[in-house]
């Protein structure tokens, strides 16, 4: 993703306008192609070697922000590893220990110390020299580069501009129209996949309004939450007709600005659709539930549940084997007290049947006291299936 100093925008009064590039510009196509060829040849080289070669292609002048931004996006697609047979910190510890002893005895000789350390680790002095600082960032080696086309890189640049701006958002409002029920479910589930705090409300003309909290509205976890919000953007871009409006805190004076993005901007998603994916913690919970619980079954919630105040997207359906009673369960991602209470009230007023909400203390973004409820379960790291079932049993009269 683009860093703050690489983000190109134009600010006009209260609006932020991302400075998109023309993905059909032949000069930019050539630049993208040259950068891709360079990164394809970088596998096996260190960061320092990569940065030296990049200087010859893009330079380091402030006017070359597009060049530097494209290079940053390609660097993000590299895997880096420490190139060392032994742990560099252990080698340094041994060297410093021997050097300290030698200095006290006035017998310090660097070559002899390196030789002794090499014998200790059953390797060569050359390997010790290479490993000494191998864990430093500049000495890490590129082991893999995930390739893409010049067109995909240029499109990714434009998307990254918007993602970087959204890291400074307080609130985001998205309107989506004309999608199939399946696409809407995938869109909503993509927000759940990224554990975002959001509400969905139906609109006229087969549309839905999604209201998302921005990272700048939170008291903590802003970086982590902001990244998840940015990563959810491609799912919106896969819709045929959408409008995104965000309130942004911008500049040294932290003034509120607005960002508007729609299909007319021509942004194209180059990532897979996360709509059918499940967060790892939910996969772990489901596996544990099915291994340990015998009188209830757990299945993924197949549908979006309509409410008078909007819709609800639970994660699972608990089904009691003998009675057939079904209880929807949502394991909430990021949350704060106001969001939790609002969701609880919406479900209490809109559902005639029982439900369960599970809140992770690790994903909490405030410290305000919450009111206890028989529908709400708080957990530390992973929901405990037996505790969830204990709540479900109470709903059907089993203690």
DSSP states of 302-313 as a string? Answer: -SPEEETTEEE-
What tokens appear for 182 in the block?
Answer: 């399946």
**What average pLDDT score do residues 242-252 get?**
94
Residue 233 confidence (pLDDT): 95
pLDDT at 277 (0 to 100): 63
Give me the pLDDT at residue 172, please: 97
* Cβ(247)–Cβ(170) below 8 Å: yes
The pLDDT, as a whole number, for residue 34 is 94
Encoded tokens for 10: 């134009």
pLDDT score recorded for residue 391 = 93
- Nearby residues of 368 by Cβ (< 8 Å), 6 or more positions away: 336, 337, 338
DSSP 8-state assignment for residue 390: H
How would residue 95 be classed by pLDDT, with cut points 50, 70 and 90? confident
Q: Is the pLDDT of residue 274 over 60?
A: no
Model pLDDT for residues 177-232, shown as the tens digit of each residue: 988 877 888 888 889 889 899 999 888 888 899 999 999 988 665 788 999 999 99
In this prediction, residue 86 carries a pLDDT of 74
- pLDDT above 80 for 131: no
**For the ranges 121-125, 273-277, 278-282, 391-395, which has the lowest average pLDDT?**
273-277
Could you tell me the pLDDT band of residue 140, with boundaries at 50, 70 and 90?
Answer: confident
Of residues 281 and 299, the one with the higher pLDDT is 299
CB atoms < 10 A from the CB of 359, how many? 22
Q: What does the angle CA 372 – CA 373 – CA 377 come to, to the nearest 5 degrees?
A: 90
What is the pLDDT averaged over residues 248-266?
A: 93
Q: What angle do CA 110, 112, 115 make, to 5 degrees?
A: 110
Residue 56: which pLDDT band, with cuts at 50, 70 and 90?
confident
Report d(CA 377, CA 138) in Å as an integer. Answer: 46
């Amino acid at each position: 993703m683009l860093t703050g100093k690489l983000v190109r925008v134009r600010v006009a009064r209260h609006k932020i306008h991302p400075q998109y590039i023309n993905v059909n510009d032949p000069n930019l196509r050539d630049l993208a192609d040259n950068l891709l060829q360079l990164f394809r040849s970088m596998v096996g080289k260190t960061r320092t070697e990569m940065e030296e070669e990049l200087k010859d292609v893009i330079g380091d002048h402030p006017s070359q922000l597009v060049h530097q931004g494209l290079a940053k996006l390609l660097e993000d697609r590299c895997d880096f590893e420490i190139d060392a047979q032994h742990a560099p910190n252990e080698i340094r510890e041994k060297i410093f220990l021997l050097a300290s002893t030698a200095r006290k005895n006035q017998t310090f000789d660097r070559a002899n110390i390196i030789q002794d350390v090499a014998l200790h680790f059953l390797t060569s002095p050359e390997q010790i020299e290479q490993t000494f600082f191998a864990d430093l960032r500049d000495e890490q080696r590129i082991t893999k580069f995930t390739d893409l086309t010049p067109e995909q890189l240029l499109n990714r640049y434009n998307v990254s501009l918007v993602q970087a701006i959204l890291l400074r958002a307080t609130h985001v409002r998205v309107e989506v129209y004309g999608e199939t029920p399946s696409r809407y479910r995938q869109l909503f589930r993509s927000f759940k996949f990224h554990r975002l705090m959001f509400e969905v409300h139906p609109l006229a003309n087969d549309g839905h309004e999604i209201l998302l909290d921005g990272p700048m509205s939170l008291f903590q976890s802003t970086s982590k939450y902001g990244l998840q919000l940015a990563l959810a953007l491609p799912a919106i871009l896969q819709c045929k007709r959408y409008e995104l409006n965000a309130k942004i805190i911008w500049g040294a004076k932290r003034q509120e600005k607005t960002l508007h993005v729609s299909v007319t901007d021509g942004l194209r998603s180059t990532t897979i659709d996360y709509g059918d994916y499940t967060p790892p913690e939910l996969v772990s919970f489901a596996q544990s539930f099915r291994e340990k619980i015998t009188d209830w079954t757990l299945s993924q919630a197949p549908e979006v549940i309509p409410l008078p105040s909007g819709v609800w997207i639970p994660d699972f359906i608990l089904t009691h084997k003998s009675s057939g009673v079904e209880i929807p369960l949502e394991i909430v991602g990021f949350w704060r007290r106001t969001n939790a209470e609002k969701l609880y009230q919406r479900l209490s007023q809109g559902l005639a049947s029982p439900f369960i909400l599970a809140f992770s203390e690790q994903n909490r973004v405030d410290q305000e006291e919450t009111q206890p409820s028989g529908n709400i379960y708080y957990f530390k790291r992973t929901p405990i299936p037996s505790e969830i079932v204990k709540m479900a049993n109470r709903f059907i009269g089993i203690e």
